[in-house]
Structure 1
Amino acid sequence: MATNFDLFGDPIPANHGGRGRPEHVPTVENRNRVNMLLAMGWSNERIAAALRVTLPTLRKHYFSELRYRAVARDRLDATLLMKAFQGVDKGRLGPFLKLVERNDLMNFGQTSRPVAAAPVEAETKPAKPAKLGKKEEALLAAHQPNTGSPMGELMARRQQGLNS
């Protein structure tokens, strides 16, 4: 593991100065940075540019973080709520209440607490019509010509003549 760091605080790989470009070394700080940027809705291109790596390098070294893009914001909010909740024990109630209020506003219109379901009376739902297979659908379509075309118009007149 590298013990030297560059000006940006990134570790200097062991083969620095050798042939070829040194391989990117992911750090805990960079993993946390990727998680935070995902939570902020950044694209992979922006994240790669912020880390000064290519897209393939980002996908290679940070694939586990990228996999959880959909829940990154929820994970960040949960971490912030937990930190604020820990501050309540130290007498800092304000930040926690602000986060709770923001969470309640975000959930406005949704039920945030489980509500006991009212007993449902036996409702009679209309029976669904039997689902038709491909052949039955084709047969029905064949007996209902498209009257928007001259051929369909002719077929419709012929069917009316056969049915009457």
Structure 2
Amino acid sequence: MGDPIPEGHGRKGRPPHIATLENRRKVIVLAAFDKNEEQIAAALSITPPTLRKHYFRELRGKLEARHRVEGKLLVALMNEVDKGNVSAIDKVFKRFDRHDLALGNVVRPVKQGKSPKKGKKETAVEQAHSAHEGTPWGGLLKH
């Protein structure tokens, strides 16, 4: 009859924090995005000491966390490429270009400047000088 009595009813303080798989993933992702311990703890609604107590492995290496997240994203992207997703294919090519540029491995073709656009008179003069080419009169007009 009535509402059930919650576990820990009558005790003082907050209930103990339980580290879940979902919270561990949140810590890894937030660490990968270079969030500090205070920000990560606030996202989980716990204190920084509680964060360090329960998630010390996840906080150990921010660079490692970034590589983990990036690896998962790349695997997901390649799965979309395998399905034929054109947008994913484009993103993979752009990613390769950025990577190659960062390493300095890519030789980009030098764009040649466009020749200035000619006016009507210049075009007419040019055509007049080559009017004899490809016609039976060509031999006579050339001299």
Shorter-chain TM-score bucket reads 0.5 to 0.7
Mark the CA change 1:32 to 1:96 in structure 2 (over 3 Å): closer, same or farther: farther
Q: Is residue 30 of structure 2 the alignment partner of residue 24 of structure 1?
A: no
TM-score, normalised on structure 1?
0.53
1:39–1:69 Cα contact (<8 Å) kept: yes
Identity %: 44
1:16–1:22 Cα contact (<8 Å) kept: no
Q: Is residue 22 of structure 2 the alignment partner of residue 15 of structure 1?
A: no
2:73 to 68, 80, 95: 80
**SS of residue in 1 equivalent to 2:85:** coil
1:67 to 60, 68, 79: 60
Bigger relative CO (Cα 8 Å, ≥ 6 apart): 2
Give unpaired runs (5+ residues) of structure 2.
Answer: 1-5, 106-143
Give unpaired runs (5+ residues) of structure 1.
Answer: 1-12, 113-164
Task: State the Cα deviation string for residues 49-85 of structure 1 (Å, max 9, x = none).
Answer: 1111111100001111001212222221111110011
Once the 2 structures are TM-superposed, how far is the Cα of residue 100 of structure 1 from its aligned partner?
A: 4.5
1:81–1:96 Cα contact (<8 Å) kept: no
Whole-Å Cα distance in 1 between the matches of residues 70 and 93 of structure 2? 10
**SS of residue in 1 equivalent to 2:84:** coil
TM-score, normalised on structure 2?
0.60
1:35–1:72 Cα contact (<8 Å) kept: yes
Work out the number of aligned pairs and report it. 100
- Larger proportion of helix: 2
Task: State the Cα deviation string for residues 141-163 of structure 1 (Å, max 9, x = none).
Answer: xxxxxxxxxxxxxxxxxxxxxxx
Q: What is the aligned-residue RMSD (CA, Å)? A: 2.4
What corresponds to 2:91 in structure 1? 98
AA paired with 2:29? M
Whole-Å Cα distance in 1 between the matches of residues 94 and 83 of structure 2? 20
Once the 2 structures are TM-superposed, how far is the Cα of residue 41 of structure 1 from its aligned partner?
A: 1.0
Whole-Å Cα distance in 2 between the matches of residues 52 and 104 of structure 1? 40
AA paired with 1:44? E
